[in-house]
Structure 1
Amino acid sequence: MDPADLYTAQFDVVSAGGARRFTVGTEWRDREGDGAIPTEAWFHGEEFRLDVEDDDGITIYVRRL
């Protein structure tokens, strides 16, 4: 059995116009079968979209209000 290929996903909510941004959660996630990081993710019943992978290797997803 191969070890899990995990990444850290951070989920942020961004207000209209981007004036405010706050993190609602962070968790380990599995990569896709080809090793790619998914461009969409669901967190607590809400859809988030890939925003950026920061310098610490954390993949940040956002949901815009």
Structure 2
Amino acid sequence: MEPPNVCKARFDEVVTGGHRRVTVGVEIRDRESDGSIPTAAWFRGEEYRLDIENEAGVAVYVRRL
């Protein structure tokens, strides 16, 4: 049985200058059909952009305030 094509997405808000970063949510999200992580995601009606995929395999998205 093949594992589901999903990833864990963490959504952060970053104050301009990057001095403050707050995680506002974590969700399981679908990957693209080729298995890649989407470069943009919507969370609570706001657009977030992929920042990094960390060591734990979590895709971290950010919205800059």
TM bin, normalised by shorter chain, reads over 0.9
Report the TM-score, using the length of structure 1 for normalisation. 0.93
1:4-43 equivalent positions in 2, closer than 5 A: 4-43=4-43
SS of equivalent to 2:38: coil
Percent identical across equivalent pairs?
59
1:40-51 equivalent positions in 2, closer than 5 A: 40-51=40-51
* Structure-2 separation of matches of 1:34 and 1:7: 13
* Structure-1 separation of matches of 2:56 and 2:3: 22
Q: Which runs of at least 4 in structure 1 moved beyond 3 Å after TM superposition? A: none
Structure 1 unaligned regions, length at least 5:
none
RMSD, aligned α-carbons: 1.1
Partner of 2:54: 54
SS of equivalent to 2:32: coil
- More displaced, 19-28 or 2-11? 2-11
Structure showing the higher helix proportion among its residues: 1
Q: How many residues align?
A: 64
Structure 2 unaligned regions, length at least 5:
none
